A = this chain, B = another copy of it.
Amino acid sequence: MKFTCNRDKLIEGINIVQKAVPTKTSMSVLEGILIQVYEELKLTGNDLELGIEYEVPAIIEEIGSIVVNSKTFGDIVRKLPDIYVTLETSNTNTLHITSGAAHYEIKSSPAEGYPQVVSIDTSVIYTLSEKDLKSIIKQTVFAASIDGSRPILKGVFMDMTENNINFVAIDGYKLAIKTIEKHNDVPISVVIPTRILNEIVKVLNSNEDIIKISCNENQIMFFTDNFKFVSRLLKGEYIKYQSMIPREYKTEVNIKSKEFLYAVERGALVMNDEKKYPLLISINTEEFVVSSNAENGSSREVVEAEVVGDVLEIGFNSRNMTDCLKAVEEENIKVLFTTNIGPCVIKGTQDNSFLYLVMPVKTRN
């Protein structure tokens, strides 16, 4: 194996596949990066739950493949002196790295022991632009559960219907739904672990380039000509979330999303423990007030808003509210309430593609 490539492109590839390299594992071969040079230079990281393949442009002199320790290889390449780097194997399982006047020899192992990333049947392919996939992930993944009490909630529900792509996440305290209008020939619904979504979102740009998606019963693959992310799916039936969304509301507030967010963040500052103290929202016909009252002190802030409907005083966990408000991309939102024990629903004033729901908490009075 011998090839020369651009150092910065190689660093980019290493950074991406390293997301799938486990830091601790009993299978030491998984601590490596698989370097394959056939028609293209391809890097692979794989911890058997998530696998990533990524292609880097290279001038190939001799085909071959090898596995090198991910940390040692990455640390060296990041500090190479020249913008070009030549990698070459000798027959003694050694990788030679040359860049400018610097020369390294690092131990490597044969590619045969490395578990290749599985390929999924691509007879059915769903497509989304990079921009849309980035947006649908960012606007939902934060609402997935992070504890293990209900494993299925640690994933995002991807529901491909005839006319829509829906992503849904819920952790019992908040719910996020994002819909993109798109015709799908073959409806399907699966639950995707948040990890692959959190990693793939890092390689996505906000452009119209197409990302392809294929699934089988156990796995999902996001891919283009240059990369492939494969993850296992979560097993089990997803929660019936539709029934949680109120059919009608008694109070409607129109407000700037950032101003509401900042007021909630500031209100949370007097709390050492946001689970212990609720953030209070008081709505009357003239004012929309965000306040808090905790051991360190209290806060009160009037936020400019347009209020229609019943007066209300309701408490929330400030963290759940900020998580939802941070995900909003629109400037103006509608915040909808039923009663002080019913959920609060956040929607865009113009944009109907997303819906966030936050459950209230008890207040002391």
Q: Which residues of A contact B (CB under 8 A)?
A: 69, 72, 75-76, 79-81, 94-95, 101-107, 262-263, 265-266, 269-270, 295-303
Contact = CB atoms under 8 A, between A and B. Distances in A.
B101 A270 contact: no
Nearest to A263: B102
Given A76-B266, A104-B298, 14 more contacts: A69-B296, A72-B269, A72-B270, A72-B297, A76-B299, A79-B266, A81-B262, A101-B301, A102-B263, A102-B299, A104-B270, A104-B300, A107-B295, A107-B297
Contacts of A303: 101
B104 A299 contact: yes
13 contacts: A72-B270, A76-B269, A76-B270, A81-B266, A101-B301, A102-B266, A102-B300, A103-B300, A104-B297, A105-B299, A106-B296, A107-B296, A107-B297
Contacts of A94: 297
Contact of A106 (B104, B105, B265, B297): B297
Nearest to A75: B269
Contacts of A298: 104-106
Contact of A80 (B102, B266, B270, B296): B266
A312 to B, nearest CB: 20
Contacts of A105: 297-299
A265 to B, nearest CB: 6
Contacts of A301: 101-103
Given A102-B299, A103-B301, A104-B297, A265 B72 contact: no
A260 to B, nearest CB: 12
A36 B270 CA distance: 22
Contacts of A104: 266, 269-270, 297-300
A106 B297 CA distance: 4
Contacts of A79: 262, 265-266, 269
Nearest to A102: B301
A302 B101 contact: yes
Contacts of A296: 69, 72, 106-107
Nearest to A299: B104
Q: A104, A270, A300, A301: which has the most chain B beta carbons within 10 Å?
A: A104
Contacts of A80: 266
A103 B290 CA distance: 10
A72 B81 CA distance: 46
Contact of A299 (B69, B95, B103, B297): B103
Q: A76, A80, A103, A297: which has the most chain B beta carbons within 10 Å?
A: A297
Contacts of A76: 266, 269-270, 299
A269 B94 CA distance: 16
